[in-house]
Amino acid sequence: MKFGGLDLAAREKNPSGVAIIDSRKILVTTLYSDMEIIDFFERENPSIVGIDAPLTLREDRYADKYLRKYGAMSLKLPGIKELASRALKLKEKIEEKRIKVIEVFPTATAKILGFYRKPKKLMLSYFKNYHISEVRNEHEMDAIIAAYTAYLYHKGLTLSIDGVIIPKE
């Protein structure tokens, strides 16, 4: 069973990290356009994709208040609203491929599981039992954590905070 992760940028001109966890292997790369992202997940065919972006346009959601302690930003910010709009369109297109999509927050996952570090590449040591393709940037690192959160979700080791999936504390 494969699990996908996407650290989505608000705009296609900016880099988005994507990752696939397949057994003990992690494939990671950087993509830009919606079509590249959709094609990647269609080709890799994960069971679940964790997206690091709001999957709602609701500005008053409890999740944003609760997750603020982990660094979450409000949907009241124009850039976050733009990100959410792109994420919702991608969610629909990915789900057309019969792939489940969940909202995740990699920073919360890393902090809850105790491996959050700066620079983010230092967090790779948490995945030392995996064979990982080269991680070139923090977007790819966040995509790995998003995919790992999708894996934890599949295992029943998460909880939902107003629709955002994080590991149980």
Reduced 3-state DSSP string for the chain:
CEEEEEECCCCCCCCEEEEEEECCEEEEEEECCHHHHHHHHHHHCCCEEEEECCCCCCCCCHHHHHHHHHCCCCCCCHHHHHHHHHHHHHHHHHHCCCCEEEEECHHHHHHHHCCCCCCHHHHHHHHCCCEECCCCCHHHHHHHHHHHHHHHHHCCCEEEECCEEEECC
Digit-coded pLDDT (tens) for 99-128: 999 999 999 999 999 999 998 989 999 999
Please tell me the predicted confidence (pLDDT) of residue 33. 98
- Average pLDDT of the segment spanning 73-92: 91
Please tell me the predicted confidence (pLDDT) of residue 121. 87
Please tell me the predicted confidence (pLDDT) of residue 20. 98
Domain 2-167 in CATH 3.30.420.10? The answer is yes
Binned at pLDDT 50, 70 and 90, residue 60 comes out as confident
Of the chain, the percentage scoring pLDDT greater than 70 comes to 100
